[in-house]
Structure 1
Amino acid sequence: MGEVKVVFQSVDEVMDYLKALEGYSGDLDLQCDHMIVDGKSLLGILSLGVNRLLNLQIYSDNYEELIKKIEFCCRG
């Protein structure tokens, strides 16, 4: 299991993030304050809003590879 902070600067960046997840079978959650959404759901992500610091929970042992694919939106 891994955890990383992400920020999506635009809807296009959200789309790039989702494209990077294609073929990934693990579970992901995105959290902002008290709201938690499926980390693979376009509508869920957009409901959290862009330009907000989100906590991405990765429920997989090989999360390092996934983080490399989405490093463009990772913030620490």
Structure 2
Amino acid sequence: MVSQVRKIKHTFTTVEELVAFVVKAERCSFEIKVISNHLVIDGKSLMGVMIIGIGKQVEIICYNEAFSPEQLLDYAA
């Protein structure tokens, strides 16, 4: 059975925000993807997410129906 996904659109505005997102994503036991145009990146890969860069709208997908993607963007660690 495929679990439900939760997704949001977001634009990283600073490198610090991007790094904080990846640090939180690394703590998750489920898959997280960051999509920019046709580029699909593992949300737990700092190098991958940095390739997309800041200032571009991305779609963040969490493959866990009980977890809100917004939690990865909150600065409270």
Give the TM-score taking structure 1 as reference length.
0.79
Identity percentage over the alignment? 21
- Equivalent of 1:51, from 29, 32, 55? 55
Q: CA deviation at 1:37?
A: 0.5
Please name the residue that 1:70 is paired with.
73
- Stretches of structure 1 that go unaligned for 5 or more consecutive residues are none
Query: Does the C-alpha gap of structure 1 residues 35 and 69 become closer, same or farther in structure 2, counting only changes over 3 Å?
Result: closer
CA-to-aligned-CA distance 1:30-69 (integer Å, 9 cap, x gap): 11111110011101001111110000111012122x5234
Q: CA deviation at 1:4?
A: 0.5
Q: Is the 8 A contact 2:12 2:56 kept in 1?
A: yes
- Equivalent of 1:13, from 14, 17, 24? 17
1: CA distance, partners of 2:12 / 2:43: 12
- Stretches of structure 2 that go unaligned for 5 or more consecutive residues are none
Read off the aligned partner of 2:13 and give its amino acid letter.
Q
- Equivalent of 1:34, from 17, 20, 38? 38
